[in-house]
Amino acid sequence: MSKLFDTQALGKPRRHVRSATGYFPETDATGKEKWPRGDEETWKAGLRSVDADVNDITKSIVHHIQTSLARQAYNIDNLGAYQATALAAREDLIINWNQTQMTYTRKQPKRAYYLSLEFLMGRTLDNALLNLGLKEKFETGLDKLGFTLEDVLDSERDAALGNGGLGRLAACYVDSGATCEIPLWGYGLRYHYGMFQQLIAPDGSQLEAPDPWLDNSNPWEIPRLDVTADVRFGGHAEKLDKGRGIWSGGQEVLAVAYDCPIPGSDTKSTNNIRFWSARPRRGFDLQSFNAGDYDRAVETSNSAANITNVLYPNDNHYAGKSLRLQQQYFWCAASLSDIMRRFKNTGQPISEFPNHVVIQLNDTHPTLAIPELMRILVDEEEVPWDDAWQIVTRTFAFTNHTVLPEALEKWPVSLFQQLLPRHLQIIYDLNWTFLQSVERKFPGDVDKMARMSLIEEGHGQQIRMANLAVLGSFKVNGVAELHSELVRTTILKDFVDFFGVDKFRNVTNGITPRRWLDQCNPALSNLITETLGSRAWLKDLYLLKGLLEHESDPTFQKKWAAAKANNKERLAKYIKNTLGVTVDSKAMFDIQVKRIHEYKRQSLNILGVIHRYLTIKAMSPEERTKVTPRVVLFAGKAAPGYWMAKLIIRLIVNVGKVINADPDAKGILTVLFLPDYSVSLAELLIPASDISEHISTAGTEASGTSNMKFCLNGGLLLGTVDGANIEIAEEVGEENVFFFGHLTPAVEELRYQHRYHPMPVEKKSPALAAVLEDIMSGRYGDASIWEPFVNTIRQGDYYLISDDFDSYLQAQKMVDEAYTKDPQQWIKKSIQTTAKMGKFSSDRAIMTYAEEIWNIETLKIN
Q: What type of residue sits at position 434?
A: F
* Eight-class DSSP state of 501: G
For strands 588-593 and 504-506, give the pairing: unpaired
Cα separation, 632 vs 588, whole angstroms: 8
Instruction: Please compute the mean of the pLDDT values over residues 390-400 and round it to a whole number.
Output: 98
Whether 425 is in a domain gets the answer no
Task: Give residue 729's pLDDT.
Answer: 97
Maximum C-alpha span of the chain:
99
* Those residues with Cβ within 8 angstroms of residue 15's Cβ, 6 or more apart along the chain or in another chain: 4, 25, 26, 34, 35, 36, 37, 74
Instruction: Clarify whether residues 151 and 203 are in a common domain.
Output: no
Lowest-pLDDT choice from 261-270, 402-411, 764-773: 402-411
Whether 325 is in a domain gets the answer yes
Task: Give residue 405's pLDDT.
Answer: 80
Q: Has residue 771 got a pLDDT over 50?
A: yes
Orientation of helix 602-617 relative to helix 766-775, angle to 10°: 90
Lowest-pLDDT choice from 292-306, 377-391, 568-582, 584-598: 292-306
CA distances for 353 relative to 109, 390, 426, 471, 772, angstroms: 12, 11, 20, 19, 60
Cα separation, 233 vs 237, whole angstroms: 11
* Those residues with Cβ within 8 angstroms of residue 583's Cβ, 6 or more apart along the chain or in another chain: 572, 575, 576, 631, 670, 672
Cα separation, 316 vs 306, whole angstroms: 17
User: Which tens digit of pLDDT belongs to each residue from 239-272?
Assistant: 998 889 999 999 899 999 999 999 999 999 999 9
Instruction: Clarify whether residues 162 and 73 are in a common domain.
Output: no
Cα separation, 695 vs 737, whole angstroms: 12
Domain total of the chain: 3
Percent of residues, the chain, with pLDDT higher than 90: 82
For residues 144 and 39, the answer to whether their CB atoms sit within 8 Å is yes
Instruction: Clarify whether residues 288 and 238 are in a common domain.
Output: yes
Cα separation, 311 vs 162, whole angstroms: 7
User: What pTM, to 2 d.p., does this model score?
Assistant: 0.91
Per-residue pLDDT band for 216 (boundaries 50, 70, 90) equals confident
Cα separation, 235 vs 680, whole angstroms: 44
Cα separation, 405 vs 71, whole angstroms: 55
For residues 659 and 617, the answer to whether their CB atoms sit within 8 Å is no
* Eight-class DSSP state of 841: B
For strands 737-740 and 357-362, give the pairing: unpaired
Instruction: Clarify whether residues 536 and 499 are in a common domain.
Output: no
Sequence length of the chain is 862
SS (H, E, C) 635-692: ECCCCCCCHHHHHHHHHHHHHHHHHHHCHHHCCCEEEEECCCCCHHHHHHHHHHCCEE
Instruction: Please compute the mean of the pLDDT values over residues 446-457 and round it to a whole number.
Output: 95
Whether 306 is in a domain gets the answer yes
Q: Has residue 78 got a pLDDT over 80?
A: yes
Task: Give residue 10's pLDDT.
Answer: 33
Instruction: Clarify whether residues 144 and 214 are in a common domain.
Output: no
* Eight-class DSSP state of 517: I
For strands 251-263 and 111-115, give the pairing: unpaired
Task: Give residue 305's pLDDT.
Answer: 83
Percent of residues, the chain, with pLDDT higher than 70: 91
Per-residue pLDDT band for 32 (boundaries 50, 70, 90) equals low
Q: Has residue 3 got a pLDDT over 70?
A: no
Per-residue pLDDT band for 44 (boundaries 50, 70, 90) equals low
Task: Give residue 55's pLDDT.
Answer: 87
Q: Has residue 29 got a pLDDT over 90?
A: no
Instruction: Clarify whether residues 802 and 830 are in a common domain.
Output: yes
* Partners of 207 in beta bridges: 199
Cα separation, 573 vs 820, whole angstroms: 24
Instruction: Clarify whether residues 564 and 677 are in a common domain.
Output: yes
* Partners of 719 in beta bridges: 694, 739
CA distances for 105 relative to 109, 335, 691, angstroms: 8, 18, 48
Q: Has residue 731 got a pLDDT over 50?
A: yes
**C-alpha 747: how far from chain center:** 28
For residues 676 and 699, the answer to whether their CB atoms sit within 8 Å is no
User: Which tens digit of pLDDT belongs to each residue from 304-350?
Assistant: 888 998 887 767 777 888 999 999 999 999 999 999 999 999 999 99
Whether 4 is in a domain gets the answer no
Q: Has residue 31 got a pLDDT over 50?
A: yes
Instruction: Please compute the mean of the pLDDT values over residues 3-10 and round it to a whole number.
Output: 31
User: Which tens digit of pLDDT belongs to each residue from 489-503?
Assistant: 999 999 999 999 999
Instruction: Clarify whether residues 677 and 698 are in a common domain.
Output: yes
Cα separation, 659 vs 666, whole angstroms: 8
Task: Give residue 193's pLDDT.
Answer: 87
Q: Has residue 23 got a pLDDT over 70?
A: no
Q: Has residue 393 got a pLDDT over 80?
A: yes
- Compute the 3-state secondary structure of the chain and give helix, strand, coil in percent, each to the nearest 5: 55, 15, 30
Cα separation, 204 vs 19, whole angstroms: 42
Cα separation, 856 vs 97, whole angstroms: 20
Q: Has residue 670 got a pLDDT over 70?
A: yes
For strands 410-412 and 396-399, give the pairing: unpaired
Give me the phi and psi of 26, to 5 degrees please: -70, 145
Higher pLDDT, 177 or 193: 177
Per-residue pLDDT band for 160 (boundaries 50, 70, 90) equals confident
Instruction: Clarify whether residues 673 and 818 are in a common domain.
Output: yes
Instruction: Clarify whether residues 828 and 695 are in a common domain.
Output: yes
The continuous run of DSSP H or E covering 630 comes out as strand 630-635
Whether 430 is in a domain gets the answer no
Q: Has residue 289 got a pLDDT over 80?
A: no
Task: Give residue 285's pLDDT.
Answer: 56
For residues 442 and 453, the answer to whether their CB atoms sit within 8 Å is no
Cα separation, 270 vs 103, whole angstroms: 11
Per-residue pLDDT band for 9 (boundaries 50, 70, 90) equals very low
For residues 721 and 486, the answer to whether their CB atoms sit within 8 Å is no
Of 182, 143, 158, the C-alpha closest to 57 is 143
Whether 1 is in a domain gets the answer no
The continuous run of DSSP H or E covering 803 comes out as helix 801-821
For residues 658 and 684, the answer to whether their CB atoms sit within 8 Å is no
For residues 734 and 718, the answer to whether their CB atoms sit within 8 Å is no
Lowest-pLDDT choice from 69-73, 299-303, 319-323, 726-730: 299-303
Instruction: Clarify whether residues 274 and 147 are in a common domain.
Output: no
Task: Give residue 25's pLDDT.
Answer: 52
Q: How many helices (H) and strands (E) does the chain have?
A: 35, 25
CA torsion angle 724 726 729 734 (round to 10)? 160
Angle at 689 between CA 686 and CA 691, to 5 degrees: 125
User: Which tens digit of pLDDT belongs to each residue from 201-213?
Assistant: 999 999 999 888 8
End-to-end CA distance of the chain: 59
Q: What type of residue sits at position 594?
A: K
For residues 85 and 153, the answer to whether their CB atoms sit within 8 Å is no
| Catalytic residue set | 401, 594-595, 600, 705, 709
Cα separation, 843 vs 851, whole angstroms: 12
For residues 788 and 647, the answer to whether their CB atoms sit within 8 Å is yes
Per-residue pLDDT band for 284 (boundaries 50, 70, 90) equals low
User: Which tens digit of pLDDT belongs to each residue from 791-820?
Assistant: 999 999 999 999 999 999 999 999 999 999
For residues 818 and 829, the answer to whether their CB atoms sit within 8 Å is yes
Q: Has residue 14 got a pLDDT over 50?
A: no
The continuous run of DSSP H or E covering 632 comes out as strand 630-635
> In terms of residue numbers, what domain contains 248?
111-123+158-406+472-509+847-854
Strand order in the sheet with 357-362: 222-233, 251-263, 270-280, 184-189, 111-115, 357-362, 396-399, 473-478, 504-506
Reported as half-sphere exposure (CB side, CA atoms, 13 A), residue 225 has a value of 0
Q: Has residue 737 got a pLDDT over 80?
A: yes
Cα separation, 101 vs 107, whole angstroms: 10
Please state, rounded to an integer, the average pLDDT across all residues of the chain: 91
Q: Has residue 2 got a pLDDT over 60?
A: no
Cα separation, 235 vs 227, whole angstroms: 25
Per-residue pLDDT band for 16 (boundaries 50, 70, 90) equals very low
Whether 382 is in a domain gets the answer yes
Instruction: Please compute the mean of the pLDDT values over residues 570-584 and round it to a whole number.
Output: 96
Lowest-pLDDT choice from 57-61, 299-303, 543-547, 627-631: 299-303
Give me the phi and psi of 176, to 5 degrees please: -70, -35
Whether 441 is in a domain gets the answer no
The CATH number of whichever domain residue 634 belongs to comes to 3.40.50.2000
Q: Has residue 301 got a pLDDT over 80?
A: no
Higher pLDDT, 219 or 5: 219
Instruction: Clarify whether residues 257 and 380 are in a common domain.
Output: yes
**C-alpha 51: how far from chain center:** 38
SS (H, E, C) 326-376: HHHHHHHHHHHHHHHHHHHCCCCCHHHHHHHEEEEEECCHHHHHHHHHHHH
